[in-house]
């Protein structure tokens, strides 16, 4: 049984800040001209999680600035409106941004607000974008009791605007009409309209952000560089449109709804805080990355630019593929209800509502998986973050999920077996091909069994445990490395719907693998400052028979059920290069 390897023992919880409860810098409003010191939010290890700033009037030298680089294919920066009314639900609003487009041909989505109405289906309420040297702004209005109409305002760009050059864009809804301003100049647009579905509750916007696509007009994400994102009520000051890109405005302006001064931040991590403190963080999706201003001029809509290290990160190291890369790259599996390019799902896995990937249904003998097809270099380490929800209508849920790492030099990933093997072990047949590591959140408790073959569920169970199994290939390996119990259940039982964040059955998981093969895993809970350090700096090189860390790894997650069942879902699955 599992007890002959490592006896599971409760892990003491420790009080630290978690993602949704990070200490937010909220200094008192400052008069124009006062420039407070920069504030950085860090975790308990001292690592930067999100950048915060003291922002008032003042110029940031361009040599110190980093901007956001969008590749034009899958990158997006998602805006979390939370309890704040989005622009589409207001009678008046203004949106500002500095853009450096890589091209001015074809459609490009700049900012979109949409509402999910089913798996993979969203209704656009507000769309702002580029289309063949035109700024297009679409807003939904009621047309009749059962329909709506999308009014599109098309405004030609001035002839002096060219690809690869910065310009300032402001679009606004004032007195029922759309205004478009370029570099402080108001331009004239033409309206057209199309019919649509009934109006929805706009306060329930489920996906909003820079680069989020909006059919049928803005069908491609923006490609290029972005800086200084601002959201206003309809009364934004005209003087703000004439500012230089490196000028900072006062975050205390009462008309300012949200403000993301990109190049004022320290360019670290996978999100940027709202300087006003009203909105949630601007979170990075797809392959969105920081780009130094020196490189931003070479940004391509199709090709990722080479990254230089951000000011807070170490210099990049040589990768196994011979290239070099910055310390942070984000590859999110989902943008809303859409599977991101490069991720592959198999088995019983399906996209669920609200941007979740459902690995299993509440049925016996299910097995679903998703993995990133592109191998990632390991020389700087890897960090994997995701939300995990599990629930069942029964009194006892099974089996669990596993995060797996497979040798990137292998041609493809073939998952292992269902039930207690969780798609990693072999259970009488074959396990995950060219496996390097499997880290499980084992709900039922049989992944920790010492016998990984036909009797994977034999012996005593270790329910609600974090379990690590080692390297293997098909019918060899997958040895048990460590097993630690967690006090809180991974699964909510006796319920028929996904638990709300903060309830039993929901958790946020962070797994980190250092360049030296040191493994850590923490579990945090929304609405609480509690965090469980289930695996703390475990040295994989000390494990007899464990394969050496490959130069590249493929990253994935699998979920399984056996005789008992539960729904297992993951969301916001993000892989970052760097610890």
Model pLDDT for residues 514-541, shown as the tens digit of each residue? 988 999 999 988 777 778 888 989 999 8
- Please confirm whether the linkage preceding 130 is cis (ω < 30° from 0): no
The whole-model pTM stands at 0.53
Q: Do domains 2-15+339-577 and 59-296 have the same CATH topology?
A: yes
Percent of the chain topping pLDDT 90: 20
Q: Could you report the per-residue pLDDT of 42-90, keeping only the tens digit for each? A: 333 443 334 344 333 344 333 346 888 888 877 889 998 888 999 998 9
d(CA 423, CA 171): 49
Cβ contacts of 475 within 8 Å, gap of 6 or more: 426, 429, 430, 431
* Measured torsion, CA atoms of residues 402, 407, 408, 414, in degrees rounded to the nearest 10: -60
CA distances from 204 to 19, 200, 338, 502, 503 (A): 22, 8, 18, 20, 21
d(CA 379, CA 174): 52
Instruction: Give the H or E element holding residue 576.
Output: strand 567-577
pLDDT of residue 309: 26
Q: Check: CATH 1.20.59.10 for 2-15+339-577?
A: no
* Measured torsion, CA atoms of residues 390, 394, 398, 402, in degrees rounded to the nearest 10: -10
**Of 382, 447, 377, the residue nearest 417 (C-alpha):** 447
Where exactly are the structural domains of the chain?
2-15+339-577, 59-296
One pLDDT digit (tens) per residue for the chain, 579 residues: 333 233 322 322 222 222 222 222 222 232 333 322 333 333 334 433 343 443 333 443 333 468 888 888 778 899 988 889 999 989 899 999 999 999 998 889 999 988 765 544 567 889 999 988 999 998 887 655 556 778 889 999 999 999 989 999 999 999 889 999 999 889 998 888 765 555 555 456 668 889 887 666 777 889 999 998 999 987 665 545 556 777 777 777 888 999 998 887 766 667 788 888 899 888 888 767 777 765 443 332 222 222 222 222 222 222 222 222 333 455 667 665 667 767 888 888 888 877 788 998 888 888 888 888 888 888 878 889 888 999 998 878 888 899 999 898 887 788 877 787 887 876 667 788 888 999 999 988 888 875 544 444 445 678 888 999 988 888 888 888 988 888 888 999 998 889 888 888 888 999 999 988 999 999 988 777 778 888 989 999 899 989 989 888 888 899 988 888 899 999 888 887 766
Give the CATH number of domain 59-296: 2.60.120.200
Cβ contacts of 43 within 8 Å, gap of 6 or more: 16, 17, 49
Residue given tokens 């049925």 in the structure block: 363
Structure tokens at 549: 């860390």
Structure tokens at 553: 């790894």
Q: Could you report the per-residue pLDDT of 189-218, keeping only the tens digit for each? A: 888 876 555 555 545 666 888 988 766 677
Residue 258: phi, psi to the nearest 5? -155, 150
CA 104 from centre of chain: 28
What are residue 152's DSSP bridge partners?
A: 138, 192
């Amino acid at each position: 049984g599992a007890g002959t390897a490592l006896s599971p023992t409760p892990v003491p919880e420790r009080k630290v800040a978690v993602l949704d409860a990070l200490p937010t810098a909220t200094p008192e409003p400052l008069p124009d001209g006062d420039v407070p010191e920069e504030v950085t939010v860090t975790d308990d290890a001292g690592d930067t999680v999100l950048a915060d700033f003291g922002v008032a009037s003042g110029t940031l030298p361009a040599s110190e600035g980093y901007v956001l680089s969008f590749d034009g294919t899958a990158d997006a920066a998602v805006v979390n409106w939370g309890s704040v009314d989005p622009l589409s639900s207001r009678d008046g609003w203004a949106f500002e941004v500095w853009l450096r487009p890589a091209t001015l041909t074809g459609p490009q989505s700049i900012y979109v607000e949409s509402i999910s109405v089913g798996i993979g289906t969203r209704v656009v309420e507000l769309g702002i974008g580029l289309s063949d040297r035109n700024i297009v702004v679409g807003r939904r209005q009621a047309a009749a009791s059962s329909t709506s109409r999308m009014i599109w305002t098309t405004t030609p760009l001035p002839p002096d605007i060219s690809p690869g050059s910065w310009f300032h864009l402001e679009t606004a809804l004032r007195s029922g009409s759309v205004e478009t301003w370029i570099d402080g100049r108001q331009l004239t647009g033409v309206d057209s309209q199309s019919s649509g579905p009934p109006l929805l509750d706009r306060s329930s916007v489920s996906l909003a952000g820079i680069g989020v696509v909006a059919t049928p007009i803005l069908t491609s994400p923006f490609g290029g560089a972005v800086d200084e994102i601002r959201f206003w009520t309809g009364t934004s000051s005209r003087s703000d449109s004439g500012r230089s890109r490196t000028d900072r405005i006062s975050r205390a302006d009462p008309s300012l709804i949200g403000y993301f001064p990109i190049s004022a931040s320290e360019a670290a991590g996978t999100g940027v805080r709202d300087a006003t403190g009203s909105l949630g963080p601007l979170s990075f999706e797809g392959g969105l990355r920081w780009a130094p201003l020196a490189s931003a001029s070479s940004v391509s809509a199709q090709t990722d630019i080479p990254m230089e290290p951000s000011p807070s990160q170490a210099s990049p190291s040589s990768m196994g593929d011979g290239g070099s890369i910055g310390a942070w790259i984000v590859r999110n599996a989902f943008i809303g209800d859409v599977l991101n390019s490069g991720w592959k799902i198999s088995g019983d896995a399906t996209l669920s509502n609200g941007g979740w990937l459902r690995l299993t249904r509440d049925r016996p003998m299910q097995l679903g998986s998703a993995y990133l097809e592109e191998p990632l270099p390991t020389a700087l380490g890897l960090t994997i973050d995701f939300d995990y929800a599990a629930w069942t209508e029964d009194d006892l849920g099974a089996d669990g999920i596993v995060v797996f790492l497979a040798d990137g030099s292998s041609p493809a990933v073939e998952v292992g077996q269902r039930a207690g093997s969780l798609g990693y072990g072999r259970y009488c047949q074959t396990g995950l091909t060219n496996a390097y590591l499997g880290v499980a959140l084992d709900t039922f408790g049989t992944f920790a069994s010492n016998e990984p073959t036909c009797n994977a569920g034999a012996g005593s169970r270790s329910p609600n445990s974090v379990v690590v199994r080692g390297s293997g290939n098909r019918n060899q390996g997958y040895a048990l490395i460590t097993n630690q119990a967690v006090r809180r259940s991974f699964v909510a039982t006796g319920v028929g719907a996904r638990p709300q964040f903060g309830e039993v059955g929901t958790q946020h998981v962070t797994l980190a693998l250092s360049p030296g093969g040191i493994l850590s895993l923490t579990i945090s809970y929304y609405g609480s400052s509690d965090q469980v350090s289930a695996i703390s700096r475990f040295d994989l090189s000390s494990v007899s028979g464990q394969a050496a860390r490959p130069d590249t790894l493929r990253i994935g997650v699998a979920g399984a059920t056996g005789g008992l069942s539960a729904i297992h879902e993951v969301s916001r699955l993000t892989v970052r290069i760097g610890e």
